[in-house]
Structure 1
Amino acid sequence: MNPDDYNDHGMLRLPLWFWTILILQARTWLLFVMAGASRQQGSDLLTLFYPDQQSFWSGMLLGLPPALVFLLSGRRHVWPRIWQAGYWLLLAGMFITFALQGLGLWQSTEMISGVDIVLALLDAVALAYWLLSRRLRACFDASHRLA
């Protein structure tokens, strides 16, 4: 690795795809914040994307680890053990999200929307990147620090 790949704290810089995956995994939280910011249309916006309240709350629950990892990312040098656990927590959340999406698509009795298929494909790509990227894995490994 190049010394320019490290930040001021001696830790590997997080790749752009890491941030993209966090946004994808915390999409319910982002929608919730956007709905709160657009006060009058907020409930309509939530109803449009989540007509079933159960799926909204499961999205909020599954989006909590990515939101917490996002908040922790700037201070990962302070809590390295928690940061390392974040890798596995996000991986588990991605598996659960992908499994629930697959189950929902498989059990769907009505027409499957293109948005559901695109989100499932994006989640599959994110999961594959998370598993296959050595650089991303090294960002969560304490041994990849500059002394």
Structure 2
Amino acid sequence: MMGLCFGSVNAYAAADKDIVDTAVAAGQFKTLAAALGAAGLVDTLKGKGPFTVFAPTDAAFAKLPAGTIDTLLKPENKGALTAILTYHVVAGKVPAATVVKLTEAKTVNGASVTVKVVGGTVMINDAQVTTADIMTSNGVIHVIDTVLMPPKM
């Protein structure tokens, strides 16, 4: 079973942890965890939910232009950071079997992401879902390889 997850997250063991604890335990979402803390969203994503999170890995954040993350983590940029992070969250629990039937999904940010399947690969805007259906106690995580930017940014 570990091979299916490529060592990223033990999907079968995550269901007893919330979204934040699951992401932290995975070890590949350090930047996301820091950003959630800076934006004051940790308690929300530890809450009842359910939520669906399209979670960018540390490698996804590393693809942003140099200095972007440091700038966003500054207190004066909390609004922009919150807008970006909430663009990665959909209210409700949306497993992959449902995601692939959608053409778009409205995010907590208020803007929608586009959903398409290209050659068996699920794309959320320009981000590829690399691991789907990591079930948590308060929702589901789908791992993506690119940070999603809201249309107003």
What's the TM-score, normalizing by structure 2? 0.25
Q: Which has the higher strand share?
A: 2
Greater helix share, 1 or 2?
1
**TM-score, reference length from structure 1:** 0.26
Larger Rg: 1
Q: Which has the higher contact order (CA 8 A, sep 6+)?
A: 1
